[in-house]
Amino acid sequence: MASSNKKLVPEARAALDKFKMEAASEVGVTINQGYNGDLTSRQAGSVGGQMVKKMIEKYENDLKTGK
């Protein structure tokens, strides 16, 4: 089954992959380029949660600085 997630800016894929790898290393989860179906739900959720946390922090900092 193909993924239904479509990037609004396809050129951003590399940056999103890098962001995901950084978030995974911060929470101690090892992920590979490509398929990561062997991750537990807890591991995948912690990576996604870390990504959201970092995005919210950036947004809040941008609001403070007026960007």
Between residues 45 and 14, the one the model is more confident about: 45
Residue 35 token pair: 């398929």
> Residue 39 pLDDT > 80, yes or no?
yes
Mean pLDDT over residues 43-66, rounded?
95
Mean pLDDT, the chain, rounded, equals 90
Neighbours of 2 (CB within 10 A): 4
Residue 29 token pair: 């989860």
Residue 44 token pair: 């995948």
Residue identified by tokens 């962001």 is 19
CA contacts within 13 A on the Cβ side of 22? 11
Do residues 35 and 51 make contact, with C-beta atoms less than 8 angstroms apart?
no
Which pTM does this prediction carry?
0.78
